[in-house]
């Protein structure tokens, strides 16, 4: 599959085959894709929490009501920013950095025929606080989002489309 085909295939998957096995190798391939994303000054200000424990997944659903797809997902990956890894120039760019990381991961999962759903945490202060508490995170680690991962029980297929009116051409 070309990158363009993968982009057009990806969509947020909210129904998964419950109990489907996602191998550690697949998880590491997805994590690696995230870690290969560009970041300001190559500061790589990220950390990942891989949650396969069902009780913890239940806890996540309790503190973030829009993560109910975790009922059937095989795991969740929490992308976190590490504020200590920013320097004077890259400071403040961590949302872009973590966003790029996340999209790489979603596309990589799609290539592996795995479904994902990006569930936002940062910058909602209440959610950041709840996740920090649940995972006992130090102050420099900011939970950025939760990515549900699993074997899709619904069709892939992009919901996005090209809109010429959103483009300004300057020749
Ligand atoms: C920053 C951000 C936060 C999101 N948060 C949630 C969420 O909490 N729960 C959810 O089900 N989907 C969430 N989504 C997924 C969007 O709803 C989804 O990407 C959008 O509707 C477009 O659909 P698609 O991903 O299938 O193209 C989020 C997406 C982004 C980029």
pLDDT value, residue 62: 98
Q: Which of 117, 145, 149 to mutate to test the pocket of ligand 1 (most atoms within 8 A of CB)?
A: 117
Cα–Cα distance for residue pair 124/121, rounded to 1 Å: 6
Determine which residue's CA is closest to atom 7 belonging to ligand 1.
Answer: 119
Q: Phi and psi at residue 43, in whole multiples of 5°?
A: -75, -15
Contacts of 4 (CB under 8 A, 6+ apart): none
Say what the pLDDT of residue 78 is. 98
Percent of the chain with pLDDT over 90: 100
pLDDT, residue 137, reads: 98
* Residue 82 in tokens: 């590490």
d(CA 125, CA 129): 6
pLDDT in tens, 14-44: 999 999 999 999 999 999 999 999 999 999 9
The pTM of this model reads: 0.98
Ligand 1 lined by 157 (C-beta under 6 Å): no
Which atom of ligand 1 lies closest to the CA of 159? 27
Task: Let me know how long the chain is.
Answer: 171
What lies within 8 Å, CB to CB, of 95 at 6+ separation is 81, 122, 123, 144
With b for 16 or more beta-carbon neighbours within 10 A and e for fewer, the 52-79 pattern comes to eeeebbebbbeebeebebbebbbbbbbb
Domain segments of the chain as ranges: 9-153
Write the residue with the smallest CA distance to atom 13 of ligand 1.
119
In this structure, which topology does domain 9-153 adopt according to CATH? NADH Oxidase (3.40.109)
Question: Quick check: helix, strand or coil at residue 109?
Answer: helix
pLDDT in tens, 94-144: 999 999 999 999 999 999 999 999 999 999 999 999 999 999 999 999 999
Minimal-distance CA residue to ligand 1 atom 8: 119
Q: What is the pLDDT of residue 39?
A: 98
Tell me the three state secondary structure of residue 56. Answer: helix
Q: Tell which atom from ligand 1 comes closest to the C-alpha of 64.
A: 8
- Per-residue confidence (pLDDT) for residue 88, from 0 to 100: 96
**132/126 Cα distance (integer angstroms):** 10
Q: Does 12 sit in the ligand 1 pocket, CB within 6 Å?
A: yes
CA–CA distance from 29 to each of 34, 112, 114, 115, 135 (Å)? 9, 9, 12, 14, 24
**45 falls in which pLDDT band (50, 70, 90)?**
very high
**Ligand 1 atom nearest 67 alpha carbon:** 9
Q: State the Cα–Cα distance between residues 155 and 11, nearest whole angstrom.
A: 9
Structure confidence at residue 103 (pLDDT)? 98
CA–CA distances in Å: residue 93 to residues 44, 88, 155, 160: 11, 11, 34, 26
């Amino acid at each position: 599959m070309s990158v363009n085909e993968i982009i057009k295939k990806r969509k947020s998957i909210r129904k998964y085959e419950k109990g489907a096995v996602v191998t550690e190798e697949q998880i590491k391939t997805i994590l690696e894709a995230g870690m290969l994303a560009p970041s300001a000054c190559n500061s790589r200000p990220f950390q990942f929490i891989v949650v396969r424990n069902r009780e913890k997944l239940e806890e996540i659903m309790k503190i973030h009501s829009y993560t109910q797809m975790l009922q059937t997902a095989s795991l969740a990956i929490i992308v976190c920013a590490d504020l200590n890894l920013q320097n004077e120039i890259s400071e403040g760019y961590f949302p872009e950095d973590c966003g790029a990381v996340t999209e790489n991961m979603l596309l990589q999962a799609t290539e592996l025929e795995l479904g994902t759903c990006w569930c936002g945490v940062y910058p909602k202060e209440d959610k950041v606080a709840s996740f920090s508490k649940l995972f006992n995170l130090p102050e420099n680690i900011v939970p950025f989002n939760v990515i549900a991962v699993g074997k899709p029980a619904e069709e892939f297929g992009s919901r996005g489309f090209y809109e010429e009116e959103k483009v300004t051409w300057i020749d």
